[in-house]
Amino acid sequence: MTEPGAPAQAPPPPSMVRRRTFAWGTRTFVMGIINITPDSFSGDGVLAEAVSAGGPSTGAASPIERAVAQARQMVVDGADILDVGGESTRPGHQPVPAEEESRRVLPVIAAIRAALPQVPISVDTTKASVAEAALAAGADVINDVWGVGADDALARLAATGGVPLVVMHNRDVPRYRDLMPEVVDDLRAALDRALRLGVRWDDLIVDPGFGFGKTPDHNLELLRDLGSLRALGRPILLGTSRKSTLGRVLDLGPDQRLEATLATTALGIAAGADIVRVHDVRENVRAARIADAIIRANWRSQPAEGGPS
């Protein structure tokens, strides 16, 4: 962790995503999760709603319409970017063929792009064919949960398309001798590889992979030492929302983990997170604004109207 009294590291220079400036260090940016799946661990998958409702019915909103409505509400609630995924990454999930994943996400991305032309969209996928089609449909960012893997296809695609790439840490087996130094080293190697493949430095974002290739104890240690990632010099994306580690600590199901998520959002921002990836946008935006006011001192007081301040 950063030693008390150590000089603060300068934030990375701003990045441009869909003609929108992400000025790192000025505030926390919020990424809203839109799951186009029937088996999301958090129970919020758009396709799960269709299954639970007994399938399409006269007058019922289609999955695409529900996803667009969800996207609109997230933007109203303060989301800066929307992350669309068509394959669950929960433990024990069944892999989805590229064709099925594309069938799920491409119409949704195209519909959200038409409805919200200025809002940046990220595609959450590990498959280059899906990512390439998603970019053509209107996505602006590639979010790779195997960013430290051996497959260079997504990095090549990001380089060719000139789009931001989220490089997430992951491992097949959660085995470490020294967690945070290994996470940092793995991510540094992945960044170096992406640069060699032509991805621009300003287009790289790192994600420590909370809940991916790590035990609950690892995940808590990761949050405790999240500031170690600042040494990489890139914006930090943190995705703790409703994760099972929070449920293990509190013995609560995914739909009861909001307060736990908000705690990790605030603590993550204090440690240096630049983006938080969340299901509950409104609540996390509010938590982030308070954390920013304290940590980044970017709040300006308004004249009091009387009463306690």
The token duo for 194 is 């992406």
pLDDT confidence of residue 295: 94
Cα distance between residue 299 and residue 272, in whole Å: 18
Strands in 165-168's sheet, in edge-to-edge order, are 204-207, 165-168, 141-144, 121-124, 81-85, 29-35, 275-278, 237-238
Place of tokens 């990489």: 232
- How many other CB atoms sit within 10 Å of the CB of residue 79? 26
Q: Please answer whether residues 260 and 278 qualify as being in contact, where contact means their C-beta atoms are separated by less than 8 angstroms.
A: no
**Per-residue pLDDT tens digits for 141-159:** 999 999 998 889 999 999 9
pLDDT confidence of residue 151: 87
**Per-residue pLDDT tens digits for 223-269:** 999 999 999 999 999 999 999 999 999 999 999 999 999 999 999 99
CA 58 from centre of chain = 35
Q: Residue 5's pLDDT band (boundaries 50, 70, 90)?
A: very low
Mean pLDDT value across residues 278-282: 98
Catalytic status, residue 243: yes
Domains contained in the chain, CATH given: 23-295 (3.20.20.20)
Cα distance between residue 287 and residue 259, in whole Å: 10
**Per-residue pLDDT tens digits for 155-196:** 999 999 999 999 999 999 999 999 999 999 999 999 999 999
Catalytic status, residue 127: no
Is residue 56 pLDDT above 50, yes or no? no
**Per-residue pLDDT tens digits for 75-124:** 999 999 999 999 987 666 678 999 999 999 999 999 999 999 999 999 99
Catalytic residue among 27, 234, 257, 277: 277
Is residue 302 pLDDT above 60, yes or no? no
| Among candidate residues 183, 203, 75, the one with its CA nearest the CA of residue 143 | 203
Catalytic residue among 27, 171, 230, 243: 243
pLDDT confidence of residue 4: 40
**Per-residue pLDDT tens digits for 27-47:** 999 999 999 988 554 445 565
**Per-residue pLDDT tens digits for 6-15:** 445 789 999 9
- How far lies 79's CA from each of 10, 83, 128, 283, 292, in Å? 25, 10, 26, 11, 15
pLDDT confidence of residue 297: 86
CA 110 from centre of chain = 20
